[in-house]
């Protein structure tokens, strides 16, 4: 198979074929888009298409729509970063070590994209000007001047944002319980899902609602 939605309960190619469409819809079984074998297939249309969607959604969300003055629109930036991540992998596939984590999508997101965007925001924060160079001949170059590796949104300097979010969630016990487990007790996604007896899909929904709360708090604090 070119790409796999990892399955906990169903194995075997035939079953995968038979249930693939169903499983994509069945959030109880779906534990995310991953590529765990046949890594060269990422340049094929059938794998590239979902991969770009996932990477662009990830980048788009991380770029945010905050106060950074961007000379390219957010969509274009998300595309550039996503393609840069894929390109970096294709140029140096040996840097990806499947024996540590076999999922190429995770590698692209967490090892490359997150770092690229983090450094971009860091530089933007420092310079408040465009750091993108002109596109190269293949039209997918982003700045080569990423110089520092640090976590996303280190720029946010807040002492009481957590308290503010908790305050916002007083009347929302569903989100508050997730928030406390995940961000106060440091549960993993799987542990939160087990504890709250919710699916991955529901977990994602709640995280998105929390994200809305975070944005509201940030806006109120004029970050």
Partner 1 sequence: MSNQKVNKLILDGAEAVSYDENTASEYLAEENVDIDKYIKKGLKDIQKSQSVSTSLTKSQTFFRRVVLAARIAHECHSEWTFGSVKFQKLVYLCEHVTHMNFSTNYSKQAAGPMDNKFIHSVKPEFEKQGWFNVQKVKTGKYEKVQFTPLEGVEGYKQYYSNYYHSVDSEIQHLIDTFRTWKTDDVELVATIYSCWNEINKEISIFSEDLVIKKVYAWHKKKEKFSEKEIRNSINWMKEQGIYPVK
Q: Which is nearer to partner 1, 77 or 129 (CB)?
A: 77
Which two three-digit tokens encode residue 215? 């944005």
Report if residue 28 touches partner 1, rule: CB under 8 A.
Answer: no
Residue closest to 61 by CA, chosen among 87, 81, 42: 81
Dihedrals phi, psi of 71, to nearest 5 degrees: -90, -10
Residue closest to 216 by CA, chosen among 172, 169, 153: 169
Report if residue 161 touches partner 1, rule: CB under 8 A.
Answer: yes
Using CB under 8 A, pick the residue from 26, 37, 43, 126 that binds partner 1: 43
Shortest separation between residue 70's beta carbon and partner 1, angstroms:
15
Tallying the residues shown for the chain, one arrives at 223
Binding letters toward partner 1, positions 70-109, x by CB under 8 A: -----x--xx--xx--xx--xx-----------------x
Under a CB-based contact definition with an 8 Å cutoff, are residues 58 and 113 in contact? yes
Contacts 24+ apart (CB under 8 A), 189-196: none
Binding residues vs partner 1 (CB under 8 A):
5, 24-25, 30, 32-33, 41, 43-45, 48-50, 52-58, 60-62, 64, 75, 78-79, 82-83, 86-87, 90-91, 109, 114, 137-140, 151-154, 156-162, 165, 182-184, 200-201, 203-205, 207-208, 210-211, 214
């Amino acid at each position: 198979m070119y790409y796999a939605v990892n399955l906990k309960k169903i194995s075997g190619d035939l079953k995968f074929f038979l249930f693939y469409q169903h499983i994509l819809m069945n959030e109880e079984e779906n534990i995310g888009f991953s590529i765990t074998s046949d890594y060269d297939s990422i340049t094929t249309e059938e794998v590239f298409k979902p991969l770009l969607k996932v990477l662009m959604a990830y980048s788009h969300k991380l770029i945010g729509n905050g106060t950074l003055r961007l000379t390219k629109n957010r969509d274009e930036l998300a595309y550039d970063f996503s393609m840069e991540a894929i390109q970096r992998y294709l140029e140096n596939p040996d840097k990806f070590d499947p024996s540590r984590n076999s999922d190429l999508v995770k590698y692209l997101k967490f090892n490359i994209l997150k770092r690229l965007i983090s450094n971009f925001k860091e530089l933007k924060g420092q310079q408040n000007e465009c750091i993108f160079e002109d596109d190269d001949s293949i039209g997918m170059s982003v700045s080569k001047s990423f110089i520092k590796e640090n976590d996303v949104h280190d720029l946010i300097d807040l002492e009481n944002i957590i308290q503010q979010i908790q305050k916002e969630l007083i009347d929302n016990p569903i989100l508050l319980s997730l928030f406390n487990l995940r961000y106060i007790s440091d549960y993993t996604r799987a542990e939160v899902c087990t504890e709250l007896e919710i699916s991955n899909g529901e977990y994602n929904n709640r995280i998105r609602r929390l994200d809305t709360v975070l944005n509201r708090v940030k806006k109120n604090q004029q970050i």
